[in-house]
Amino acid sequence: MEVDKGKGEAEETRKVAEADRDTVTLKSSDGKLFEVSKEAAARLSTVLAGMIAGGSIDDNGTDLKQIGSEALENVVDYCNKHANSIPSAALISSSISFNTAPFKEPEEWERKFVDRLSHDALFDLVEAANFLGMERLLDVTCHKISEMMKGKSPDQIREVFNIKNDYTKEELEEIRQELAWAFYDD
Amino acid sequence: MPVMTRSQAAAASRRRDLEARRGVHVRTVVRSRKPRRAADVVVARSPEEVKKAARSVRRRRGNSKATAGERHISSLCDDLLLQIFLHLPSAATLVRAACACPAWRRGMASSPDFRRRFRSLHPSPLLGLFTSDASSSIVAAGSPTTFVPTLPHDGDDDLAAAAVHGGDLSLTSLPAGGWRVISNSCRLGNLLLHNREVQSLAVINPMSRQPTSECEGGRRVLDLASRKNTLGGGHFIGAVLSSQDSSSSSSPSSRRVMLVDHAGSKMKATIYSMDTWEVSSAAAVTPWVDVPALPDRVDGHAPHGVAVELNGSVYYVLENYGHIVSIDTTTMEFAVIELPECVSRKSLGVGETKDGTTCLVYSDGRDVGVLMHTREEDGDAHGLRNG
The pLDDT value recorded for residue A18 is: 52
pLDDT of B336 > 70? The answer is yes
Residues 82-121 (A) with a CB less than 8 A from some CB of B: 83-84, 86-88, 91, 95, 98-100, 102-103, 116-121
pLDDT digit string (tens) for A26-45? 999 999 999 999 888 988 99
Residues 20-49 (B) with a CB less than 8 A from some CB of A: 20-21, 23, 25, 28-29, 31, 33, 35-36, 38, 40-45, 49
CB atoms under 10 Å from CB of B144, counted, come to: 19
pLDDT of A78 > 80? The answer is yes
Check CB contact of A169 with chain B, cutoff 8 Å: no
The pLDDT value recorded for residue A138 is: 94
Domain ranges of chain A: 9-150
Under 8 Å CB-to-CB from A14, ≥6 apart: which residues? none
User: Looking at beta carbons, which residues of chain A come within 8 Å of B107?
Assistant: none
User: Looking at beta carbons, which residues of chain A come within 8 Å of B242?
Assistant: 186
pTM above 0.95, yes or no: no
CB atoms under 10 Å from CB of A167, counted, come to: 19
Gap from B247 CA to chain A (nearest CA, Å) = 9
Give the C-alpha separation, A32 to A53, whole Å: 24
Residue B135's pLDDT band (cuts 50, 70, 90): low
**DSSP letter for each residue of chain A:** -GGGS-HHHHHHHHHHHHHH-SEEEEE-TTS-EEEEEHHHHHHH-HHHHHHHHHT---TT-EE-TTS-HHHHHHHHHHHHHHHHH--HHHHHHHHHHHHH-S-PPPPHHHHHHHHTS-HHHHHHHHHHHHHTT-HHHHHHHHHHHHHTTTT--HHHHHHHHT------HHHHHHHHHHTTHHHH--
pLDDT of B352 > 80? The answer is no
pLDDT of B146 > 80? The answer is no
Residue B216's pLDDT band (cuts 50, 70, 90): very low
A180 vs B100: CB contact, 8 Å cut-off? no
Gap from B25 CA to chain A (nearest CA, Å) = 6
B98 vs A133: CB contact, 8 Å cut-off? no
Could you confirm whether domain A9-150 is CATH 3.30.710.10? yes
ipTM, 2 dp: 0.79
Give the C-alpha separation, B238 to B201, whole Å: 9
CA B30 to chain centre: 38
Check CB contact of B91 with chain A, cutoff 8 Å: yes
A184 vs B42: CB contact, 8 Å cut-off? no
Check CB contact of A81 with chain B, cutoff 8 Å: no
B188 vs A185: CB contact, 8 Å cut-off? yes
Residues in chain A: 186
Are residues A106 and A138 in contact, defined by beta-carbon separation less than 8 angstroms?
no
Q: What is the mean pLDDT of residues B155-162?
A: 55
Are residues B208 and A178 in contact, defined by beta-carbon separation less than 8 angstroms?
yes
Residue of B nearest to A63 (CA): B6
Closest CA to B187 of A176, A179, A180: A180
Measured on CA atoms in the order B98, A143, A63, A69, is the torsion positive or negative?
A: positive
Gap from A6 CA to chain B (nearest CA, Å) = 31
pLDDT digit string (tens) for B101-114? 989 988 988 888 89
Report how far apart, in Å, the C-alpha atoms of B204 and of each of A133, B127, B194, B219, B323 are.
Answer: 46, 17, 11, 12, 31
Check CB contact of A44 with chain B, cutoff 8 Å: no
Residues 119-178 (B) with a CB less than 8 A from some CB of A: 121, 124, 158, 162, 166
Highest mean pLDDT pick, A119-133, B64-78, B117-131:
A119-133
User: Looking at beta carbons, which residues of chain B come within 8 Å of A138?
Assistant: 17, 83
Q: What single DSSP character describes residue B364?
A: -
pLDDT above 70: percentage of residues in chain B: 57
Name which of A49, A99, A179 is nearest B29 (Cβ-Cβ): A49
Highest mean pLDDT pick, A5-14, A80-89, B220-229, B281-290:
B281-290
Residue A118's pLDDT band (cuts 50, 70, 90): very high
Residue A124's pLDDT band (cuts 50, 70, 90): very high
Residue B373's pLDDT band (cuts 50, 70, 90): low
Residue of B nearest to A42 (CA): B31
The pLDDT value recorded for residue A154 is: 84
Domain ranges of chain B: 78-121
Q: What is the mean pLDDT of residues B33-38?
A: 36
